Amino acid sequence: MQRRVVFANRAEAGRQLAEALKQRLGTGDVVVLGLPRGGVPVAFEVARVLGAPLDVILVRKLGVPFQPELGMGAIGEDGVRILNDEVVALAGVSDAEIGAVERRERTELEARANRFRRGRPRVDLKGRTAIVVDDGIATGSTARAACRVARAHGASRVVLAVPVAPPSSVTSLADAADEVLCLATPEQFFAVGQFYRDFSQTSDGEVVELLEKAAELRAAESAVAVAPAMAAGAGDPPGNAHESERVPGTGQRPGVPSMEARPVRNEPVEVRSGTLRLLGQLTVPVAPRGLVVFAHGSGSSRHSPRNRFVAGVLNERGLGTLLFDLLTPDEELDRAAVFDIGLLARRLGIVTRWLMARPEAEGICVGYFGASTGAGAALWAAAEPGAEIAAVVSRGGRPDLAGPRLPAVQAPTLLIVGDRDEVVLELNRQAQAQLRCENELAIVAGATHLFEEPGTLGEVARLAADWFLRHLPSSASTFAQTGPPHHRA
């Protein structure tokens, strides 16, 4: 009798699945595709371990018009449609009826694609191995459709990988994929959730955050890979640090200081608070005009190529920067911690007090640069009584997560959002309406959530630098005497 397997949560199941896939697949041109929503946390771990890109694979069942629970086919993105000719014939469904059902389902599919990817293109599968991942299989109808859609998108090989499924489903799916990998096939199978201690529902927001974090990790790996070439002056830095994003008027790449702007200090640092150890990178130019702490809730701020790019621009403009990881590596794997804005804000407060006590910060004002959930944490921390934060900038952030704290923020706040990041743009507009401090909403044309489009990240850096230089007083003593601009006499 097979021992009953129980996974702690989807992340643990994903890590176990990833190790099994490593042994089975080896290396190759692989794309990991998570079935939203519950399959994405599993797929994220698989993609992280394999060093592969992560995307969602979106399918919608086409139900017979007068009996919707009976599937007559499925659709995928880019016009992919798969029909079960036998069901269509037996049910007597006309082409016009099929078209009407497809139009309705495709509207929902496209809405989900926009909601999850926020304008980013689908990862190309042509000639690649597609690993379709879910958190488990019951009947297998969705998994079968996903495998067929992946094949229709041009995948040369399709692997279906799940932590748990009944033996009958695994057997029936053998013809849907080139290979089916399932960690556990218990005979006593009633529902996928019975094999997880934590099987809480995955939200759309978590799917978005995981896709973004996976993209950040991939970009960070690319940054490490090309670092020697960059040091030799070859090529542009990753994360869309294009030629157009050299620092205006200097011809200098951000993060590569000119002789006149060599940092007086550029070193890794560590903040300890009890048993907590938080790591960061502190860069302070000669005679800094202010210090900016980067708050990044999802993934490493130090290793984020986008944060490093923006920090390089700020350094060139005479501002010091502290890129800090507000979560430990283990905590980053806990989705609850990533969305615990109170926790992130407390950590940011600890780091800020540590920074203000250092000799480099004596007499210098501090601002916050927040990205994603880190923006919510930055505004939350800036609203704390006695917080001496002179300015806040949010990049593609979630200021709405600061909730009732927003009216208490005194620091001048700039919200930067891409015009193609429609969901987050609306959330920023709603949050802006709650702010009582001096504030602006800057919309970057042609930009999606991660500002991956040429020139868009450079615009973010320029806007941020201008805002900080405009609002950081010349000295901390001036700020202490006068307060934020809207409180000055």
Q: Is the confidence at residue 117, as pLDDT, over 50? A: yes
Confidence of residue 263 (pLDDT cuts 50, 70, 90): very low
What CATH topology corresponds to 226-487? Answer: Rossmann fold (3.40.50)
Kindly report, residue by residue over 30-61, the tens digit of the pLDDT. Answer: 999 999 989 999 999 999 999 899 999 998 88
| Cα separation values, 190 from 130, 138, 164, 194, 196, Å | 28, 8, 12, 7, 13
As annotated, the residues of the chain forming the CATH 3.40.50.1820 domain(s) are 226-487
Structure tokens belonging to residue 246 = 């050299």
As annotated, the residues of the chain forming the CATH 3.40.50.2020 domain(s) are 10-208
Q: Is the confidence at residue 248, as pLDDT, over 70? A: no
Confidence of residue 220 (pLDDT cuts 50, 70, 90): low
- pLDDT value for 223: 47
CATH class of 10-208: alpha beta
Kindly report, residue by residue over 393-450, the tens digit of the pLDDT. Answer: 999 998 999 989 999 999 999 999 999 988 889 999 999 999 999 999 999 999 988 8
- pLDDT value for 338: 65
Which ranges constitute the DSSP H helices of 136-292?
A: 141-152, 167-172, 204-231
Helix (H) or strand (E) run with residue 380 in it: helix 373-382
Half-sphere CA count of 259, side-chain side, radius 13 A: 0
Q: Is the confidence at residue 245, as pLDDT, over 80? A: no
Q: Which residue has the higher pLDDT, 306 or 430?
A: 430
